[in-house]
Every structure is written in structure tokens, then in C-alpha cells.
A and B are shown apart, each in its own frame.
Chain A
Amino acid sequence: MISVHRIRPIIRKEFRQIMRDRRSLGVLLVVPAFMLIMFGYALNYDVQHIPLAVYDQDRSTMSREFIQQFIHSEYFDFAGSISSEQEIDTVIPSQKARVVVVIPPRFSEDLLANRSVSIQVLVDGANATTAATAAGYLVAMTQDYSTNISLQALQRFGMSKPTLPIDYRPRIWFNPELKSAKFMVPGLIGFILMMSTVVSTSLSIVREREKGTIEQISVSPIHPMELLVGKTMPYVLISLIATVLILITGYALFNVVVRGSMLLLFLETLIFTFCGLGLGMWVSTVANKQDEAFQLATLVSFLPTFMLSGFAFPIANMPKVIQWITFINPARYFLFILRSIILKGVGLSALWQETLFMTLFALGITAISWNKMRKSVFRV
């Protein structure tokens, strides 16, 4: 029968091996925090400080006022004035500016005469994301400005206190500054946990088979379940430590605070870890060599967790077929759960469905792998 007495030496041995193998320890603990820093800063969808050049042909108080509102926002930085048409062709290619605003000669005159004015805006489209965001800001600010002018004009014609039919005042909850990092941290926890558990579990099992130690163990009275528990427990613990490290890094660098229950967060993480362990076990039954195991493990953990979980791309934007596929992806549920707990502070009552699906996946994959493993690994 299963005995803790015999599991202990396996756990101790596994820890010793992990501690001695600096590379795998690094992969498990340091790489996650490092990835968070990399992703947190690099995978930043926020667009700020876009260099903006101005070709002001009017040079009036009004034109300057119009320009000021762009430059005073945090989105644009003033990158200089331009004095000729030809210069426009050089500032964008030379990267001096990514946006050029061209103000026509009779800007203020036309405005005061109540004639509509055309503003030309040139945006560097080399980076589509930045270009789209920048164009969005420019449109919004310009509209704001023209609304103000219209209102002032109406007032001047004697209408007192004119009102707009709809006053649009959006308020964004949970992540009011719309910081990408706040959205990234939960995703990264899921991504990193999945990678590290699948890779390390599959490698540690395949390594024993490659070295022949698993054969020696299978001749001993140890029960396969004892071996499995002993081998995986250390990785569960290390995954939880890695989670704490990511949360600390996330707090220190990106000011991400866990609003919900820490206990619930760890319970959900634990269930997700078991999904990873089960997948890792499955990989170890398919791969014969360590390098094969590494490749397969990276593939089955990286692709679904990065692409199909809502980490990199919103699930709602995916084609229907792909959306269905995401239903068997535990990372999909885990990311939703993490974002809900960390950003919104939601409790289990709102997350029980996702928790249930994730638990079912963990049980299912472990059962399948366990069955395959008993045949292929222990009956060598």
C-alpha cells in the first residue's frame, strides 16, 4: 500500500537533484521573474510619448493653442517645427517624428469666420499598433477642440449655456489607467506555471527512463503511485514559490496588487499545477529522449497557453471553431480566474464554473497519462 515512509526518500532525492542542477532551478525560479520583467516592459500596448512634429503655416494664437493640447498630453512629445513641405518627407523616415500635424495658412481666420477647416495629419504606419492608437488620440482631441469652438460660437450667437445631447464620460473599472502590465501579470503566472510544470515533470521522468534508474525502481517494492507523488510534489512546491516571486515582482515593478483572497489564488494555482503535471506525465509517455520531451513539452504548454488562453489575443475575437478548442484549454479558465481574483477581487462563487472545468481537466489528463504510464514506464 501507499506509504509516506517510502515517498520521503524520493522527495528528498528529487529536491537534491533540482538544487544541484542549477540550470533546472534557474528555469523554475529565476526565468519566471525575468520573463515577467521582459514581458511586462516589452509587451506594452500602452502608447505614450509619440514624437510629434508641427508644420504650422498659420502661426497664430489659435493654431498654437490647438497644438498645445496635443503636446501637453502624455501621449505626444513635441519633436520640433517644420518650415516646408519637403521637410515632412524627411522627418518621418528619419524617425524624428512619427506624427506630423499640418495646419493650413488661414486656420484662425477661417475658424473665426465660422468656416470649416481641414487639418492634415500624417502618421507613420510602420508599427500598425502605435499608428492606430496615435490616430485615435488625435481624432479624439481634435473633436474635443472643435466641439469647444462650436459651443463658444453658439454662445456668441446669444444661446446661453448650450448643452450637448450626450455627454460621454467613460469610467474604466479595475484597471482605470488601462495599464497592460496589470493585465499581463495574471496571464504570465499562468503561462510560466504551465511551461515550468510540463517541462520539468516530463524531463524528470524521461531522464530516469533514459538512465535506467526507473527500471531499478520498478524492481523495488515501491508502488508506482508513491514514485509519482514523490517525483511531482517538489515541482508543485516550487511552482507555488515561483507564483509568489511573480506576484512580488509584479507588485514591485508594476504595482499589481492582489485584491481577492490569497488562499483562493493558491488553491486555484494548485489545481492548475496539477493540469501541468498531468500534461507533463503525458509527454513523458510519448517522448523517448530528453530532447524530444523538451520540444514536445514546450509545444503543448507554450502554444495553447500563449495563443488560446486569452493571454496574447482575446478569445472573443477568435473564429468560432478556435473558440470551441479553447474550452479544453485549462489556461483559458485559469487566466480568467487569476484576472478576476487579482484585478477584481472576485470570490469563488463567481468562479466555480471555471474552477470546475479546470479540475475536470486536471483529473482527466492525469487519469489518461497514469494509465499510459503504468504500461510504458513501469512495465519496462
Chain B
Amino acid sequence: MPDVAIEAKELTKRFGDFIAVDHISFSVNGGEIFGFLGANGSGKSTTIRMLCGLLQSSGGSATVAGFDINSQADSVKENIGYMSQKFSLYDDLTVTENIRFWGGIYGLSDEMIAKRQAWAIGIAGLEGREKSLPRELPGGFKQRLALACAMLHSPKVVFLDEPTGGVDPIMRRRFWDLIRQLAEEGTTVFVTTHYLDEAEYCNRIMLIHAGRMIAVGTPEQLKKEYIRTPVLEVETERIIEAMALLDEDDRVEETSVFGTFLHVSIAERYNAEKVIREVLGAHNISPSRIEPIVPSLEDVFIHLIDRQEAEQKR
């Protein structure tokens, strides 16, 4: 196992005039859980497709498990696992039939399949339900079975494209336990998600927006590096109005809506709480609660994306 599991250099994909992925460079270490974040249409899926050998890149280069994605696509495919939100089990084949099929596709011997079948059933927690059809299983089990099927050939790198879409929070947590277990066993996990709480589980995360890489680092690094001003959570009934008022004030750096609350960051030299009460009080809005919070990744990303869009306008 090379120390670097995935390495991309100036990787680019154009569809006609449209640049879906714009010169992105990054590297993922062996055994790392690497989170890949971005909105729909940000170039996330295109990047994964290129890395899996499904799409030719139009510029730059990348290696996965030590193989070039364009010239050695077949070797890449032998060494990766892939699972998407639209996880692909055959609904009319039983659990074991699915496992045997996917094992067979990867050219495993019958002995090997038998061995990995036991492993997969264990991983998915499906002991005693070997003869069930996937459609009879609850969502979370199906997801884990799909992941197990994607890993029958013991790939060095596994790509998970929004693996927990549409699964309840408890099952999501258990799924992430499984991902961590795989990483501890040495598998490199490249995962996309749009649940930002999940991103906190990653060793490192990367954010892309409109095809460009915006930030990469550990969750702590990102928070420290990009959020320098304190963030306060403000609770009020007239949230939209309050946000507009705060945005007009020079001392306020940034505002954003989080659920039914407002997150506000104020330049460091001011007393933040005082500024907020002053601005809102002038218009008869009295917030029921104002308190400083530890910024979440969501604060970081909103900040970064706002900054990127402001730069592009300029």
C-alpha cells in the first residue's frame, strides 16, 4: 500500500464550454477517511467518476492506489470499491446470492467468496437473514450490505458517494462506526456527504464549489483557520428582519440563518453582544437569547462559499 492512496494534480474535466472540475489538486493518505464536500452540481460526482475510471479527465492527472486513472483504468477498478446512494443490490436475489454475484464479478474464487460471504454477513449484521430479499430489509441494513458487497475483493480504496442518504440518524451513526472500523483496518475511505455533522467524523475534509477547491484540512484546522471572529447565536421571532438590519451595520462581518436561529459574527474589537442588542433594539427587536458558540463546519463552509462568490463577482 503506497502511503498516498489518491493523488490528484490539476485534475480538470470539461463538458464542452462548461468546466465541471477546475484544476483541483489534493492527496489522500492510506487509511484515511477523507470527506469530500460540496453542493449538488459543484463537481463532486464528476470528480468521483474520474477517480473510479468511469470518465476520462480532460486535463491534469491522478493516481488511485498507485495506478493512473486514465491509462490504467482496469487496474484502478480492481483496487477500488464503490458504493453510491443509489446502492446497487438486486432486489430479486437473496442476501447471499447478491454477495456471490458481486464476488463473482470481481473474479473471486469460490473459496474466497465463501470466506468473504461470512465476513460480509457479519459486517452487515445479517446473521440469520441470509435468505431474505434486500427489499425486505430495513434501509440501514441494505446500506451496510451494499457497502459489504462493494468491499468483497478487499479494495485498498473505497469511494462512498453520499452513502447515508435517506437513512435515519441512528443507522447513520452505526454506518459511520463501520466506516471507521474499515479505516482502522487500513482501507482508505473517500466519502461525499452533505450532512455536515458527518463531516466531523472525517480525518480530513475538502470543500469544492463550482468546480474549484476552496479548502482542505482537518475539521479543527478549518475552524481555526477560517473563523477568526467569535460567532454568536441569536434567537428571535423576527429573524429575517433582524438579519437584514445586522447586515447593514459595518461592525457585523457575517450573518447566516441556522434553522430558527441566526449566527452572527462581529469584528473582534467590539463587544459582540452589545452591538447586536444595540442594532436590533433600535428597531424594537429584543432577542430572547444571545450566546457565543463554538463555530461548526457549517459556519466555516458558509463563510468560505460567501467569500468565494464575493471574489468571483469582483
A interface list, Cβ under 8 A from B: 3, 5-6, 8-10, 12-13, 16-17, 20-21, 211-213, 215-222, 379-380
- Size range of the chain B interface in the assembly: 20 to 34
A2 CB to nearest B CB, Å = 12
- Which listed residue (A21, A215, A219) contacts B77, Cβ 8 A? A219
Write 7 A-B pairs (CB below 8 A) sorted by A numbering. A6-B107, A9-B104, A10-B105, A17-B92, A21-B92, A212-B84, A220-B105
* Chain A interface, >50% SS class: helix
- Which listed residue (A16, A215, A219) contacts B93, Cβ 8 A? A16
Identify the interface centre among B92, B101, B103, B105: most chain A CB within 10 Å of its CB.
B105
Closest A residue, CB atoms, query B93: A16
- Which listed residue (B52, B54, B97, B107) contacts A13, Cβ 8 A? B97
Given contacts A9-B101, A380-B54, contact A216 B88 (CB under 8 A): yes
Question: In whole angstroms, what is the CA distance A212 to B53 when docked?
Answer: 17
Residues in chain A near residue B241, CB distance under 8 A: none
Contact between A219 and B86 (Cβ–Cβ < 8 Å)?
Answer: no
Residues in chain B near residue A8, CB distance under 8 A: 104
Residues in chain B near residue A213, CB distance under 8 A: 88-90
Question: In whole angstroms, what is the CA distance A12 to B90 when docked?
Answer: 13
Residues in chain B near residue A9, CB distance under 8 A: 100-101, 103-105
- Which listed residue (A212, A215, A217, A379) contacts B105, Cβ 8 A? A217
Residues in chain A near residue B83, CB distance under 8 A: 216
Total cross-chain contacts (CB, 8 A) = 72
Question: In whole angstroms, what is the CA distance A215 to B82 when docked?
Answer: 10
Known contacts A6-B105, A13-B93, then 4 further A-B pairs from the complex at CB < 8 Å, ordered by chain A residue: A8-B104, A211-B86, A213-B88, A217-B105
B interface list, Cβ under 8 A from A: 52-55, 74, 77-78, 80, 82-84, 86-93, 97, 100-107, 150
Given contacts A13-B90, A16-B93, contact A219 B52 (CB under 8 A): yes
B14 CB to nearest A CB, Å = 16
- Which listed residue (A13, A215, A217) contacts B84, Cβ 8 A? A215
Contact between A216 and B82 (Cβ–Cβ < 8 Å)?
Answer: yes
A212 CB to nearest B CB, Å = 4
Residues in chain A near residue B54, CB distance under 8 A: 218-219, 379-380
Question: In whole angstroms, what is the CA distance A380 to B88 when docked?
Answer: 14
A290 CB to nearest B CB, Å = 14
B188 CB to nearest A CB, Å = 16
Residues in chain A near residue B107, CB distance under 8 A: 3, 5-6, 221
Closest A residue, CB atoms, query B85: A212
Instruction: Give the top 9 A-B pairs by smallest Cβ distance, nearest first.
Output: A9-B104, A216-B88, A212-B86, A219-B82, A213-B88, A221-B77, A221-B78, A13-B101, A220-B105
Closest A residue, CB atoms, query B77: A221
Residues in chain A near residue B55, CB distance under 8 A: 379
B290 CB to nearest A CB, Å = 47
